[in-house]
Structure formats: structure tokens, C-alpha cells
Amino acid sequence: MTALALSVGDPSGIGPEIAVAAFLAREAVALPAFYLLADPALIASRASHLGVSVPIVETTPAQAAQVFAHALPIVPLAAHFIDTPGLPDPANAAGTIEAIDRAVAACLGGEAAAVVTCPIAKKPLYDAGFRFPGHTEYLAYLAARHSGVEVMPVMMLAGPDLRTVPVTIHIALAEVPKALTSELIVATARITAADLASRFGIASPRLAIAGLNPHAGEGGSMGLEDERIVRPAVDILRAEGIDAFGPLPADTLFHIRARAGYDVALCMYHDQALIPAKALAFDEAVNVTLGLPFIRTSPDHGTAFDIAGKGIARPDSLIAALKLARRLADTDKEAAAA
């Protein structure tokens, strides 16, 4: 069985230590085999700094699954890292990007079952010349470069009791009404429905579509976007046979009885989707990128520079991301063989 490829993320954040913590918990939580793309010297240094004993073996993707039973498999990077917990450094940008590049290449080449990514920080990457808005957009670029076909990545937060998708993501709230279109909602919903069917094994996904305005606009008395943009998108999706319904008031969309009626909630902006997902399962929610030709998951949190190197970072979300990546990879493989 091929292992999962885990990129270390920003080495000044908590990525190195949650990777080590997840590995050390592997038997207790029945963790699937993964290998870490990192600078072995930094991982050893961080473990020593935290007073943690972890066996490390430098390996190849092909050998990682066998190594995982007795040691943390690390596929070494060409770049080396500066170990400064809590102090991001643009000098580490090359290695951060190399880890992502090689994880994706291994997955597309069949050497890894899925890509799992520890958190990155944008500013040190920007300071080093990185020109992509974020992690997800860069993954889409790598996928398009490989296939020659442009892809549209879709962010989904998946927890035990709720899945949410933001239609617009990292833009100012004031810009959301300008960016939101029926076409964008429809495209996001199509990708979401397709991946829920093919990778999550949900034959007929139910998509709850949130309104943009309070009370979903209340018939136009609190904004016209829901009637002019959201509702036409829902009509198009239903005409295509997708089980979508809305626009629905967001303030009543996430309680326990409402959640029983859908498989995913499509939300109109970032916080509308991420606040309920993280409130319900902050330590268990997983960021899944839909629409890619490979599986990618990550923890639902950031680099946490404020606690890096203090030994208090919890690996729960990374463990959940690794487990979900394995499950999706297995489902994908079964679907391809059918």
C-alpha cells in the first residue's frame, strides 16, 4: 500500500511538531502510514527542543509504508531549514514550496496515495517572491501544469457532523456581493456534488445553499442578491438533477435538526462556512480541496506561530486529515476499479 505524502508546511510553525506527535500516536489512533517531506535535521532539532524522542529514517516514498511501523519516514528535501520556532523566515520558503511540489508530484506519479499538507504562512512566502494567493491556488496551478487543463479548486471543511463549502473565500466582506455570481455558485456546487459522489461515496448528495443576506434576503427586503443571484443558481442545479435547495437563512442552517437534512452546506462567504464548521469540531475538522486530480487534505488551523516550539500544539486535526485522506484514497481507488 502506498503511503500518504505529508508536506511539513512552514517549519517555523507547528507543522514539524504536530507531524511528530501524530506519528508517536500512530498505534493509539490507528493512523495510516505517511511520510514527511522535510529537512530531517530540523525535525530532529525540533523533537530535541521539545524533549521528545522519535526515531527517524530517511527513505523514499516507495519504502515509507514499511518504515512507518518502527520509525518516522522522512523523504529529505534538497533545501534546508532554519529552525526558529515562532519566527517565520523567508529563507525557509524554498523548502516549504519544495515539499508541496514533491508531495503533489508523488501523488500524480502514483508514489503516494494522497497529499496532506501542514499549514503555511503567506507573508514569508510573499517576501521570498511567491505569487499565488494561497495554498489552494498553488495546488490548482500544479494540477493544471501536470494535466494541461485548468482546474477550479473548491475548499470544503469536513467535520464529524458538518461539511461546509465557501463559494467566495479569501476576499474582504465588502467585495463578496461583487464577486458572487450565479455561475460561480453553480460551478462550485457541481464540483462539490461530483466529489461527494466519487470520493465520499454519497450517491445523491444533498446540497443546502445558504443565502447571502439575513433571512436569505426576506423576499428582497434585506438585499436583492438572494433572489437575483442565489435562487437562479439553485434552479439551474435542480434542472441538472443535483439535489440543491435554497437560498436558506444561514442563522437556522446549522442546528442539529437542520444538519440532518443535507450532506453539505454551500455558503456565500468565508466566515459563513468556517465559523460553524470550526465551532462544532475545531480539533477534528479537516480542510479538503475538491476539484483536483489528486486528493488533498490539511488541518483546519494555521501555523500557530504563537505556540510553536512550546510543546502544546495538538495533532488532532492533522490526525483527522491523515485518516480522511486515506479513506478518500481508498474510495477513489475502488471507484476507479469498478
pLDDT tens digit string along 35-73?
Answer: 999 999 999 999 998 899 999 999 999 999 999 999 999
CB-based contacts of 212-221 (< 8 A; 24+ apart in sequence)? 212/176, 212/177, 212/180, 212/247, 212/268, 212/269, 214/249, 214/251, 215/249, 215/251, 216/246, 216/247, 216/248, 216/249, 216/250, 217/247
CA proximity to 107, closest of 338, 292, 299, 315: 292
274, 158: one domain: yes
CA atoms within 13 A of residue 314's CA, in its CB half-sphere: 9
32, 47: one domain: yes
Looking up residue 221, the CATH number of its domain turns out to be 3.40.718.10
Sign of CA dihedral 35, 38, 39, 44: negative
202, 161: one domain: yes
In this predicted structure, the answer to whether residue 338 has a pLDDT above a threshold of 80 is no
Beta bridge partners of 286: 158, 299
Q: Give the domain extent around 59.
A: 1-150+293-338
β-bridge pairing 34-38 and 72-76: parallel
Identify the DSSP state of 221. B
14, 139: one domain: yes
50, 143: one domain: yes
Average pLDDT, the chain: 94
Q: Which of residues 276, 291, 306 is at a domain's end? A: 291
Residues 6 or more apart from 44 whose CB is under 8 A from it? 56
Whole-prediction pTM value?
0.92
pLDDT tens digit string along 249-276?
Answer: 999 999 999 999 999 999 999 999 999 9
4, 136: one domain: yes
Cell numbers that stand for 48 in this block: 530535541
51, 156: one domain: no
**What is the spatial distance between Cα 94 and Cα 17, in angstroms, rounded to a whole number?**
20
What percentage of the chain has pLDDT greater than the value 70?
Answer: 99
Give the count of domains, the chain: 2
**What is the spatial distance between Cα 283 and Cα 297, in angstroms, rounded to a whole number?**
14
159, 267: one domain: yes
265, 175: one domain: yes
Cα 116 from chain centroid (whole Å): 8
pLDDT tens digit string along 197-246?
Answer: 999 999 999 999 999 999 988 888 888 999 999 999 999 999 999 999 99
145, 188: one domain: no
In this predicted structure, the answer to whether residue 296 has a pLDDT above a threshold of 80 is yes
Sign of CA dihedral 157, 158, 162, 167: positive
98, 164: one domain: no
58, 193: one domain: no
